[in-house]
Structure 1
Amino acid sequence: MLVAMLVFCRIGACLMLLPGLGGRNVPMQVRLFIAVALSLAFVPIVYGVVAAKVEHATIARLAGAIVAELLTGALLGFLVRIYIAALETLMNFAAQAIGLAGIAGMSVDDVSLPSLATLFSFSAIALIFIGDLHLELVRGLLDSYRRLPPGELFGFGAALASVVDQFTESFLVALRVASPFVLYSIGMNLAVGLINKFTPQIAVYFIATPFIMAGGLLLLYLGMSQFLSLFVMALGNWLRTH
């Protein structure tokens, strides 16, 4: 029972922060049953490693092991969540760049976003499950018992370095996805500014707003599949190599 409890602490904390499973869109009972099912599946595999940490352990040592497992699972889940957070942030900026920021979308993981950012977030999360990347996450969770021994606190310096590296890598990937919208916005606003300079009598900005929005939607239509493929491939490569 103690072994199963420690395994559940790591897996439950990880699933709590995962994109797609950690939000309110998935009922709490479903998340609980998934965490329990994964924990019971992991117990026979990692029993020998975890049992050595809880055998003849005192109450204080057991409490420390529970805290360590919770922090380890939360770190693993947070590293994956950074990717979706970076995509949401940059697509929020892209929505503002093409004039779609005022159109509210659905809530993704308890965060209210513009419709463009919601579309990309939902699509990316769906592709994660369609492409079986969640199975790579399960493999990574199982492999974490070899890299991060159960019941022991990880080095906070190494963990902070991993988080910073993950922020850098994920935001660079998200910037590649959002860069066409950023370049389009810069070019269109520069052109509108020049036109307004030559014809100050006409409110060019008010007239050009629908055309900028239409161009942004056309860019979205033409390139959304490539944008999402780039993001999912980058996330998949990270899951397979870490």
Structure 2
Amino acid sequence: MINDPQGTVLALFAVFCRVGGCFLTLPGFSSARVPVQLRLFIALGVSMALTPLLWDTVYAVAKKPETTYVSIVFIEGMIGVVIGMVARYFVLGLQFTGTVMTLMTGFNAPPANDILEDGSENEITIMITLAGLLLLFMLDFHHVIIRALADSYKTLPMGGVFEGRRALVTLTNTLSSTFMIMLRLSSPFILYGLLFNVTVGFVNKLAPQMPVYFVSQPFIVFGGLILFYFGIASLIRLFAEAFIPLFTSV
């Protein structure tokens, strides 16, 4: 039996603010293809599951008469958004990798509609982004996010102050680590593109009358697709393996 219905609802709503802010930016759940009602129900279900585990911490703040719920809604929402952005930045790094692969292999096809968002992307970028996100879901990365939300109440307890500087440092470190990881994943294609273009440049010096661009374009695309065929499995696997260390380090 619930002895304090008002305090229970306020505690649940406070947890929902942090969870909802996280799911607002979480990759996969924040996709334009996911209905807003479904995101709402998922965030509400996760909040109801976490509230009993966090009851002692959350209810103690919710029942205080001097508690300002407007500030709690803002602070809890911002903390959830920062947690979700850490995972989103890492997944968005695949778009950087896809763009690099596209440029280095010369696969300049017209952009197509993105499967996850409402924008347009190259086919290679769409393929590896969707494959990386599906692999993360297969490895239950959302369980890691929910566990991080529960653990965040120990380091960022409810009722505290939102530390904007700390949040910016966290997001900056995430961008830096993501850039280095994606640069290593795309390094075979960068080396391939540089070596191929340098070789074509020497050929152009030896035979200036030959239309190098039209002759070399099919070969660079063909070689890039072969490299993509043999390297896509390792690329996606290394991407998935780097998620948990990156997420826990920041």
Query: What TM-score do you get using the length of structure 2 for normalisation?
Result: 0.91
Q: Is the CA contact 1:90–1:178 (under 8 Å) kept in the aligned structure 2?
A: yes
Contact 2:102 2:124 in 1 (8 A): yes
Give the equivalent residue in structure 2 for 1:7: 15
| Alpha-carbon distance in structure 2 between the residues aligned to 1:209 and 1:53 | 64
Give secondary structure in 2 for the equivalent of 1:209.
helix
Alignment match of 1:193 (pick from 171, 176, 201): 201
Ranges in structure 1 where 5+ consecutive residues have no aligned partner? none
For residues 79 and 185 of structure 2, the distance between their equivalents in structure 1, rounded to whole angstroms, comes to 30
1:92 corresponds to: 99
CA distance in 1, matches of 2:111, 2:65: 52
Structure 1 residue 141, shift from structure 2 partner = 1.0
Q: Unpaired runs of 5+ in structure 2?
A: 1-8
Query: Is residue 52 of structure 1 aligned with residue 60 of structure 2?
Result: yes
Report the counterpart of residue 136 of structure 1 in structure 2: 144
| 1:35, distance to aligned residue in structure 2 (A) | 0.5
Offset at residue 241 of structure 1 (A): 5.2
Q: What is residue 110 of structure 2 aligned with on the other side?
A: 103
CA, structure 1 residues 65+177, in 2 after alignment: closer, same or farther (shift >3 Å)?
same
Q: Which residue of 2 aligns with 1:80?
A: 87
Written as runs of structure 1 = structure 2, the 5 A alignment for 1:152-167 is: 152-167=160-175
- Report if aligned partners of 2:11, 2:62 keep a CA contact under 8 Å in 1: yes
* Aligned length, in residue pairs: 241
Note the C-alpha offset of 1:154.
3.0
Aligned to 1:45, the other structure's residue is in SS state coil
TM-score by length of 1: 0.94
Residue type matched to 1:86 in 2? Answer: G
The amino acid that maps onto 2:244 is G
Aligned-residue sequence identity (percent) comes to 32
Distance 1:57 1:68 in 2: 18
- Following superposition, the deviation at residue 110 of structure 1 comes to 3.5
Counterpart selection for 1:71 from 59, 74, 78:
78
Structure 1 residue 131: Cα displacement: 1.0
RMSD: 1.5
- Further displaced range: 146-155 or 68-77: 146-155
In structure 2, the partner of 1:62 is 69
- Note the alpha carbon deviations across 1:197-225, whole angstroms, 9 max, x for none: 11111101111111101111100000111
Pairing partner for 1:35 from 23, 43, 53 = 43
AA of the residue aligned to 1:117: T
Do the aligned partners of residues 152 and 219 (structure 1) sit closer, same or farther apart at CA in structure 2, a change above 3 Å counting?
same
Matched to 1:30, the amino acid is L
Q: Which runs of 4+ in 1 moved over 3 A?
A: 56-59, 239-242
Partner amino acid, structure 2, of 1:154: F
- Supply the distance in 2 between the matched residues of 1:19 and 1:76 (Cα, whole angstroms): 11
Contact 2:174–2:246 (Cα < 8 Å) also in 1: no
- Amino acid of the structure 1 residue aligned with 2:105: I
Q: 1-side partners of 2:148 and 2:73: how far apart?
A: 20
State the 1:87 CA deviation: 1.9
The secondary structure found in structure 2 opposite 1:26 is coil
